[in-house]
Structure 1
């Protein structure tokens, strides 16, 4: 099963989950109706029977009970989901997390941030915000609605007690939750459970009210007590079954995430070692935060004490997970987690990457190689791509990496990356920035220019990804000025270079995520029109003359099995129309997206090869369609990587 199938299944699983909870709500309505009928029979001094419920209550009353229960649960769920509207950040902050992307403290936090950044670059996703939870337990989580608002949370015990390989295994496990569509499902579970729990809380408040009510109305007090007790039973019964559903869904997703982590890193010892250390560690994986139970199904390992008969356990037993990863395990849990992991020691894998060439060559790739990447690598980075991602990160000078983590300097980096290649256009853009940008930002751009000029083409997107967490930290007024300046910069020369637009779109997708709904067209055939326009834009980007562009465009149409239509002129390719096309294309079903990406690859490769900039353009388009595409490794780098790994094995 590949990324697109997982995404499609995640959508269906969401529907199944909502159906299961709807069934639970229906049962609660039925139990509440029985309770109400029993109370009415008691108040009238009649015998209660299931047969005469309609006589005791009447269908209007039954309908009112159903509407009330449904409304209470819906409002409780919507309230919680509203609290979590910020996505992963809301979850991390509710657990007391501190964002470390901008200012990591100490070697352990810096190492953890490096591991997350390497995995993000290797997988083609925006670098997520990384939150540190000050807890001695060894645990982690991924939370959010989609990759653009995802966060990775790591506990203090996780970053200090685990080796680099073990930490990489844990981070890979959490990234698999991002790829497999688990995060949105997890947040919705929190909202639905909160709605059901509200009924129990209402019962608790009524019980307290009956306790403090006047003793002169004993019959009314007894009725209030009965309603409160009944609602508590109903609410907590619903929570009981809701937690069963949550636990059953979560346990299976953990096995999948473990397997995916091994597939990414090709190192089962890393994640297995982390699980073994949890088993032998005094603090284990149990979190001390007061809100830990609410998000128990999101953690790398169980964050709570084992419940009755493991009925509510959101994770499989540690021993079972370890045995699947390491069949030769002897059942012994090491106690070494009680000692620091030796943070400053460079792992063997680090040494291998340091041996790679620092610069990334501008090389081409075949169409088949790119199509294979679409089929097999999106949301599923290989070991080579993880290592290559680390190489790409190290090809970015340390000065630029440091600047990317600063909200002030990150704006200077983005401004430079969007400068036009032509000398005259670039001069005009520089003059424009002098007028509209903060003078200190412009000075910072000039200061960083020597390193930016020598930046490899393949490192442009990684550098942009590194800037995302810092840019998210801008206050709203700063962000709006920054965004307006970017748009003015793109429009300054009266035309749009597709590469400039691609960088801008990647950045906006990472910072804002949801497309402008006003751009979406409800008319029939809008998706086909959007695909045609994107193919036309790519064809013009790769060919200055009309006839070669026309042939490339028709090649893409054939790959997508669309009728041949006239190629729009280059002047028709505008920023607004490109944004609208990508927004419409982003709404198509996951299983239909590979065909569009392959058609774009066919358009690019009409002349026989896909150049490095075209590969990065395809990755930018894939990113905007929520399809994280890892970097395509040039053949020479694949040879270097394989040689280094074989040497280490020998």
Structure 2
């Protein structure tokens, strides 16, 4: 199962879970309504003439009154869920801060935090995702989590125990495990579960308030007893609902942990890393149990169980440690008793080869003979089969070689630029520099520099002047990785600062009266990382996308790719037709190069986002075929493909280099960089 199949399955699972929770809410509302109806008619039930059956109680109160009670209770649950989801609207950042986390992207303290940041950045660069915010929880337990609604607002949380007790291999395994949750669409569902459970819990909270009111209320025991009884009943009903809600949450979470473990092994090619982390948790004094007051609310998001087992593991959100370790290391033994005797671990699931948990999806029918060569000043070289492999199998699923290359890319970026990417002022200067380019790449550099001197903050301008020479020397293949590194620092800008920065970027792009494709690509990748939905203003009032409109958008994207790095119409036409053929579309005239306006490209991308998950691979492969049809892959085409993939929420790993450099061997790939 690949990324697109996981996305499709995640949507279906989300619908099933919402249905299950709705069923729990309906049952809870029904029980609560009957209880409230019973209390409301309690004084009349002592009359022998009154029917005390359920139908009799409802008839005595009146169906309109009972319906009003049910609607009121439903509204209370719904509003409580919406209120909690509103509190978590900030995505992963809201979760991390509620747990007491501290963001370290812009100011890591000490070697342990710097090493953790390096590991996260390497994985992000290898997978083509924006670098997530990294939070440290000052807790001695060994644990971690990924939270957010999408890869754009995702955060990685790591405890102090995690970054200090684990070696680099083990930390890399934990981080890869959390990235798997980001890729597989688990995070959005996890936050929805938090909101729904809070709605169910509100019934019990109301009961608790009533109990406190009955204690501190008037002196008359006669007046306190009805309030006390109401409180006790609502507490029992509320926590009964929470009981079943937690059962659903736990059952879903357990199975996803096995998949994330398998993905971590695939990414790192080192099952001993994640297995070692789990073993250290088993031996650690604090284990993985978090001390935060609201740790239980987010229990299903953690790398390992954040709470002590209760009810014999009935509510466990994670499989037993020994079961997870046994799947990774069948020879693992755990202590059988406090006396220290050891016996082989017994798992409720038969040990399985880890590769069977996450089998590779293979290409078929690919022309492996066609070779794509590098154009002048272009750092990319790969066979067509390799390009299609990246699109087909490595979207949000980086191979071991690509993960190791993330380390190479991070090391390749000059230290001055790397440090600048972690500072909000200097990060803005870097983005301006990437858009202005060097003297050979931009005929209008002087115009852009004059404009920058007028619109940029003086401190940002000073940073730009310091970094300008270094920026002109970096290869084009480092532009997107460097941009990705800037995302966390730019997210820390105040809203007003961000709006000014965005306006300045647009002014720089338009300085020469036109916007090049590569400039559009950088801008789209940047905004996709910084804004939740850059195309929302194009969707307002839009109806559901029809098949014809979607096909037209796909054709326009193929046409744009065909024209991106080819000035010859016939060459572009043949590339366009190859892309259409792969998608099974009929012959369509290639629009002229002059028709490829960026406004139309923005609209086509916004429409293409509605492409069903299982149809996105065909579109991306068609774009790759179009891009490489002439045997030459230009840097602009690669950046355009990455930008379109980003807009479709399909993180695309980088392609290979053409200068003879090889991905480092496993030993070198694991060297410490902190």
TM-score, reference length from structure 1: 0.91
- Compute the displacement of 1:473 (Å): 1.0
For 1:163-222, what per-residue CA distance to the aligned partner results, in whole angstroms no more than 9, with x for missing partners? 00000000000000000100001000100000011111111112222334445582x543
Equivalent residue, structure 2, for 1:119:
123
1:468 aligns with 2:513: no
Aligned to 1:281: 284
Q: Flag the 1:91–1:568 CA change in 2: closer, same or farther, 3 A.
A: same
Deviations 1:61-119 (A, max 9, x none): 33223212211111000000000000000001111111100010110000000000000
Unpaired runs of 5+ in structure 2?
337-376
What's the offset of the Cα at 1:574? 2.8
Question: Which residue in 1 is equivalent to 2:560?
Answer: 537
**Residue 427 of structure 1 aligns with which residue?**
446
Checking the alignment, whether the CA contact within 8 Å between 1:536 and 1:567 is kept in structure 2 is yes
Deviation of residue 500 (structure 1)?
0.9
Deviation per CA, 1:241-270: give whole Å up to 9, x if none: 111111111111111111111111111100
CA contact (8 A) 1:366 1:609 kept: no
**What residue in structure 2 maps to residue 101 of structure 1?**
105
CA distance in 2, matches of 1:138, 1:643: 26
Query: 2:216 matched to 1:200?
Result: no
**C-alpha deviation, 1:133, in angstroms:** 0.5
**Map 1:494-505 → 2, pairs under 5 A:** 494-505=513-524
Q: 1:647 to 1:227 in 2, by over 3 A?
A: closer
Q: Report the 3-state secondary structure (helix = DSSP H, G, I; strand = E; otherwise coil) of the residue aligned with 2:462.
A: helix
Specify the alignment match of 2:15 in structure 1: 15
Could you say if the C-alpha distance between residues 169 and 491 of structure 1 is closer, same or farther in structure 2, counting changes exceeding 3 Å?
same
Distance 1:428 1:454 in 2: 20
**Larger mean Cα displacement after TM superposition, 373-382 or 638-647:** 638-647
2: CA distance, partners of 1:29 / 1:257: 36
Q: 1:332 to 1:412 in 2, by over 3 A?
A: farther
Residue 223 of structure 1, CA deviation:
3.0
Q: Does 1:259 align with 2:276?
A: no
Residue 646 (structure 2) aligns with: 623
Whole-Å separation in 1 of the counterparts to 2:663 and 2:214: 76
Counterpart for residue 140 of structure 2 = 136
Q: 1:495 to 1:560 in 2, by over 3 A?
A: farther
CA distance in 2, matches of 1:303, 1:246: 14
For residue 583 of structure 2, what is the aligned residue in structure 1?
560
> Structure 1 residue aligned with 2:458, among 427, 439, 445?
439
Quickly say closer, same or farther: Cα 1:213–1:450, change in 2 above 3 A.
closer
Distance 1:502 1:368, change over 3 A: same
- Structure 2 residue corresponding to 1:233, chosen from 236, 242, 253: 236
Judged with a 3 Å threshold, the aligned counterparts in structure 2 of structure 1 residues 637 and 15 are, in CA distance, closer, same or farther, namely farther
Give the aligned partner of residue 596 of structure 1: 619
- Residue 87, structure 1, aligned to residue 97, structure 2: no
Q: Which moved more, 1:413-422 or 1:136-145?
A: 413-422
CA contact (8 A) 2:37 2:66 kept: no
Cα gap change, 1:216 to 1:140, in 2 (>3 Å) = closer
CA contact (8 A) 2:288 2:304 kept: yes
Superposition pairs of residues 289-438 of structure 1, within 5 angstroms? 289-331=292-334, 362-419=379-436, 422-438=441-457
Are 2:41 and 2:57, in contact at CA under 8 Å, matched by a contact in 1?
no
The alignment partner of 2:146 has SS state of strand
Alignment RMSD: 2.3
- What's the counterpart of residue 31 of structure 1? 31
Contact 1:122 1:386 in 2 (8 A): yes
Alpha-carbon offset, residue 635 of structure 1: 7.2
The answer on whether the counterparts of 1:14 and 1:185 sit within 8 Å (CA) in structure 2 is yes
Going from structure 1 to structure 2, the CA distance change for 1:156 and 1:217 (only over 3 Å counts) comes to: closer
* Distance 1:575-1:332 versus aligned 2 partners, 3 A rule: farther
Structure richer in helix, relative to its length: 1
Q: 1:643 to 1:249 in 2, by over 3 A?
A: closer
Residue in 1 aligned with 2:364? none
548-557 vs 193-202, greater mean Cα deviation: 548-557
Residue 191 of structure 1 aligns with which residue?
195
1:246 aligns with 2:249: yes
**Superposition TM-score, scaled by structure 2 size:** 0.88
Q: Deviations along 1:480-511, whole A, 9 cap, x unmatched? A: 11100111111122222111111110000000
Alpha-carbon distance in structure 2 between the residues aligned to 1:423 and 1:276: 55
- Aligned residue number for residue 357 of structure 1: none
Aligned residues: 621
Secondary structure, counterpart of 1:543 in structure 2: coil
Partner of 1:354: none
1:45-84 to structure 2, matched below 5 A, reads 45=46, 46=50, 48-84=52-88
Answer with 418-427 or 282-291: which moved more. Answer: 418-427
Contact 1:132 1:154 in 2 (8 A): yes
Q: Structure 1 stretch 277-286 or stretch 163-172: which is displaced more?
A: 277-286
Cα distance in 1, alignment partners of residues 661 and 14 from structure 2: 39
- Secondary structure at the aligned position of 2:156 is classed as strand
CA deviation after TM superposition for structure 1 residue 534, in Å: 1.6
Return 5+ residue gaps in structure 1 as ranges: 334-359
Partner Cα separation in structure 1 for residue 241 and residue 308 of structure 2: 21
Within 2, Cα distance between the matches of 1:442 and 1:222? 71
Task: State the shift of 1:645 in Å.
Answer: 7.7
